[in-house]
């Protein structure tokens, strides 16, 4: 084993969808559906279709691989192995089909199952984000922009932003399945010449629970598959966003949240005190791999003429990688959030240590007293810059500048972070209602 998804970055359910045995069983399922469709339109005897279905249960991967060594063609090896087991009925196996009638329909079946697992993963992640957003809807902390303190926010609102994004991913996944989960049974260049009818494709897809494409050449057009892979890239971006925030808020000088640290866990081989956010760092790295596959999927759209083979080798790599790693990332992130240590006291300390974050509140309090907005901005900025560069007390400096308009009590209110959270709790509650 040389690829980390084989032994490290995976969960068994998703990984199993892309292994050789799974792909073989999906191809056999398509071949059986094809035989049944032929029988339904009277092209082959029904008993022979039943014989082919029974034979599919006896086809072994070892035999397919042995035949492939001779044929140098994976789909022909499957068809030959199935025909061997079907006896006299074997003469009907793969009739009228081209290889990618089987392969593309196989991929659609695999991606259909993968979508079910991703939907489950997104639901689990939503559950953890809902819990955190609800629990911390009033947990005040400093908001940061450009890496600098900005205005007060709540940790619940931060989680609600992530929750809303994951909800959008759920909706995307539902929408794109209608476009992407389609198979084909239209022959070598999409003309249905080998079948003489479009009914075979309709019957096959109905049996397999897949949609029909509008038109194909030798393959289902790759813009749909590119959309599916792009979806994994977008999801990976959200996971990385959350993971990066966990990492940054875990910094020693911030320490507002922290990954769970298990008994016996080691942070460093040489620094005993280390409690590193290594799981979040891991997910940020994995996200880079998932996103890199999106470009490959885009490149696969522009095949030559009715098709070439350049997409095939790439898809054997990027599809397992993208879906196994996305499943891994979503499940790991849900686990990180489930065990996340949140430190409201440290959040309050960091916020209270920086009175500058209330500058907008002071400015708007002046505006309410009749000071033109631009003048109020200039006044507060001057006080802030003087305090910062000369080491003066900010409250005293701004109090002096605003004394003609704001009383000490009014200034205290304007500098109270809890009084400047706006509609934060209502936004959190709205997201919680919408993201059930």
How far, in Å, CA of 60 to CA of 54, rounded? 13
How far, in Å, CA of 183 to CA of 216, rounded? 10
Is 268 considered catalytic here? yes
| Per-residue b or e along 235-246, where b marks 16 or more CB atoms closer than 10 Å to that residue's CB | bbebbbebbbbb
Contact by Cβ (8 Å): 127, 335: no
Element (H, E) at 100: helix 99-135
Contact by Cβ (8 Å): 39, 48: yes
How far, in Å, CA of 231 to CA of 251, rounded? 31
Element (H, E) at 373: helix 373-390
- Angle, helices 310-338 vs 278-299, to 10°: value is 160
How far, in Å, CA of 187 to CA of 189, rounded? 6
How far, in Å, CA of 261 to CA of 268, rounded? 13
Expressed in percent and rounded to 5, the helix, strand and coil fractions of the chain are 65, 5, 30
Contact by Cβ (8 Å): 18, 25: no
Of 3, 73, 268, 407, catalytic? 268
Tokens 């866990």 belong to which residue?
265
Of 3, 22, 73, 146, catalytic? 146
DSSP conformational letter for 222? T
| Phi then psi dihedrals of residue 153, to 5 deg | -145, 175
How far, in Å, CA of 163 to CA of 132, rounded? 10
> Looking at the annotation, which residues are catalytic?
146, 268
């Amino acid at each position: 084993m040389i690829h980390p998804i084989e032994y490290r970055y995976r969960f068994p359910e998703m990984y199993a969808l892309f292994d050789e045995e799974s792909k073989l069983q999906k191809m056999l399922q398509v071949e059986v559906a094809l035989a049944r469709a032929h029988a339904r339109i009277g092209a082959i005897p029904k008993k022979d279709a039943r014989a082919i279905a029974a034979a599919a249960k006896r086809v072994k991967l070892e035999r397919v691989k042995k035949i492939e060594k001779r044929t140098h063609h994976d789909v022909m090896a499957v068809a030959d192995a199935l025909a061997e087991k079907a006896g006299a009925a074997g003469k009907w196996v793969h009739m009228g089909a081209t290889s990618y009638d089987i392969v593309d329909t196989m991929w659609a079946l695999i991606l259909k199952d993968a979508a079910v697992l991703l939907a489950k993963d997104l639901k689990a992640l939503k559950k953890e984000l809902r819990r955190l957003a609800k629990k911390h809807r009033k947990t005040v902390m400093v908001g940061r922009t450009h890496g600098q303190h900005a205005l007060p926010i709540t940790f619940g609102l931060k989680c609600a932003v992530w929750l809303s994004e994951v909800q959008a991913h759920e909706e995307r996944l539902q929408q794109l399945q209608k476009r992407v989960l389609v198979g084909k049974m239209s022959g070598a260049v999409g003309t249905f010449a080998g079948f003489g009818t479009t009914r075979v494709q309709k019957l096959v897809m109905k049996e397999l629970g897949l949609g029909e494409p509008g038109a194909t050449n030798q393959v289902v057009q790759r813009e749909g598959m590119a959309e599916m892979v792009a979806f994994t890239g977008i999801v990976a971006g959200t996971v990385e966003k959350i993971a990066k925030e966990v990492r940054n808020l875990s910094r020693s000088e911030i320490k507002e949240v922290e990954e769970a640290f298990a008994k016996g866990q080691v942070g460093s081989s040489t620094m005993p005190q280390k409690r590193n956010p290594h799981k979040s760092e891991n997910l940020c790295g994995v996200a880079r791999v998932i996103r890199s596959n999106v470009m490959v999927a885009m490149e696969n759209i522009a095949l030559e003429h009715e098709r070439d083979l350049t997409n095939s080798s790439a898809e054997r790599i990027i599809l397992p990688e993208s879906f196994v790693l996305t499943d891994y990332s979503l499940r790991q992130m849900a686990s990180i959030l489930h065990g996340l240590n949140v430190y409201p006291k440290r959040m309050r300390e960091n916020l209270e240590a920086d009175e500058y974050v209330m500058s907008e509140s002071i400015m708007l309090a002046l505006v309410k007293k009749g000071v033109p907005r631009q003048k109020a901005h200039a006044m507060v900025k001057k006080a802030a810059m003087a305090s910062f560069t000369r080491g003066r007390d900010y409250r005293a400096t701004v109090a002096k500048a605003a004394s003609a308009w704001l009383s000490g009590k009014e200034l205290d209110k304007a500098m109270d972070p809890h009084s400047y959270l706006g509609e934060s709790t209502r936004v959190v509650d709205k997201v919680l209602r919408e993201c059930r």
